Homo-oligomer: A and B are copies of this chain.
């Protein structure tokens, strides 16, 4: 067994990015590795949250609606940025204290791309991170500085999706 300590990116327009992060968290937890799961933007009550908790995986998240930047006021945007920055900082601090062997930053790309998260603390963490922490990053369009620091990059490519024929997200499957 090689030590933990690599960086994963799950990206692309296909289904399965968050899903794979949840699966990886479940696998690691099943092997007794402590996992910390941070969910950016998405804050709906979801089945994955219930299951992660059942597996003893702590989940850090903000509050509902943070992703809808189009309809947010300046004050709401500033508040959302504060929440995301604080959540990231809390997670990185926990990782530095050795509290997790796997750190999942779900939809961190979206938070970065929407300008709802300062990437600098993450870049700093990746460049000087403690040994034995595997980092999993998900979301579309990762910035180049993140790609440069990744050991795994998997693109989830949508070849077919029922959205394309008008079937919307279903609870327990997409949400």
A22-33: contact bitstring with B at CB < 8 Å (1 yes, 0 no)? 111011111111
Q: Does A71 contact B (CB under 8 A)?
A: no
| Chain A at the B interface: SS class | mixed
Within 8 Å of chain B (Cβ to Cβ): is A54? Answer: yes
| Copies of the protein in its oligomer | 2
- Return the contact of A173 from the options B26, B46, B134, B154 (Cβ within 8 A): B134
How long is the Cα–Cα vector from A19 to B20 in the complex, in angstroms? Answer: 5
Which among A6, A15, A27, A159 has the greatest number of chain B C-beta atoms within 10 A? A27
Interface residues of A in 21-79 (CB under 8 A from B): 21-24, 26-33, 46-52, 54-55
Which residues of the partner chain B approach A15 to less than 8 Å between Cβ atoms? 8, 20, 152, 154
A144 / chain B contacts, CB cutoff of 8 Å: none
| Distance to closest chain B CB from A1 (angstroms) | 5
Alpha-carbon gap, A30 to B89, bound state (A): 28
Interface residues of A in 132-175 (CB under 8 A from B): 134, 150-162, 167-168, 170-173
Residues of A within 8 A of B (CB): 1-4, 6, 8, 10, 12, 14-16, 18-24, 26-33, 46-52, 54-55, 101-102, 134, 150-162, 167-168, 170-173
